[in-house]
Amino acid sequence: MNLGDTIPISIFMDILSLVVVGVGCLVVSVASQMSGSTRGFVVLRDIGLPLGLLGALAGALGISLNASDPALVYHYTAYMLVTAFYGGVLSGFGVFLGGQDPSKNTKPDSPVPIYLATLVTFAVAIWAMDSAAGIKLYFSPVLLGVFAAVGLLAITTKKKSLTGTLADASLFASMLCVMIGLIARFSDYVEQGLRISMGGLVLGLLVYVCALCMSYGTGAQAEINAQRKNWHWLELTGFLVFMYFAPETLREVLQSQ
């Protein structure tokens, strides 16, 4: 089957990516709805995009570190974007079905289902990261140092709940890792820069997703302001993708023909 008789539908299909993103979104949404916390579609709206970005970047990091044929870079980039696409579609469904009103602080009748769903999501994400690039990659001294320093500063000066503080800290730590990695990359330490910038962004998204999930159990979901945070994560990811995977312009493509 083709899209408009020119593009095969198969390029938009990746079962593994769909399972990783779909399972994480589904278990947290259902757990939150059943426990009396945030409505399932609102959870889907808030968690779909960051979980899709996490899976996309974890896969892209593994592929980039093992790539040997330059001709396959565009194929790898498309594979990465498909995973992010799934997360964006799920968030879009959440927007239309759950509305765009900010989440309210609502404590569940019992937080246990949400905490269990968070553990499932965490396990799925860790498995995806390990399968893509190896979990040891995320325990490098630079990444641990940046996240430990930012986390300690955030917790000692926190003005929000713990989940809100961790959500803010994860974004800031990821921004630092992206910039540190890019400086290394343009100083001719390409692989080291890739490990720091992309690995830091994946680790930050993991911390953020877990903090967001936990907030539905503690009743502090409004403090995270997930819709605004999602835009920041998307902007940071877009910047990283452009710096590492920027495609040829249309002018260059036409000139090569």
pTM over 0.85: yes
HSE toward the beta carbon, residue 58, CA cutoff 13 A: 29
Contact predicate 228/101, CB 8 Å: no
Nearest to 116 by CA among 205, 41, 32, 207: 32
- Amino acid letter at 1? M
Residue spans of the domains in the chain: they are: 2-256
Q: Specify the pLDDT at position 71.
A: 67
Cross-strand partners of 2: 8
Residues 197 and 140: their CA atoms lie apart, in Å, by: 12
Per-residue pLDDT of the chain (257 residues; tens, 9 = 90+): 555 567 777 788 888 888 889 988 999 999 999 998 989 999 999 999 999 999 999 888 887 777 667 666 777 778 788 999 999 999 999 999 888 888 888 889 999 999 999 999 999 999 989 988 889 888 889 999 999 999 999 999 988 899 999 999 999 999 999 999 999 988 989 889 989 999 999 999 999 999 999 999 999 999 999 999 999 999 999 999 888 877 666 566 566 66
Q: Specify the pLDDT at position 237.
A: 93
- Amino acid letter at 102? P
Work out whether the CA dihedral 6, 7, 8, 9 comes out positive or negative: negative
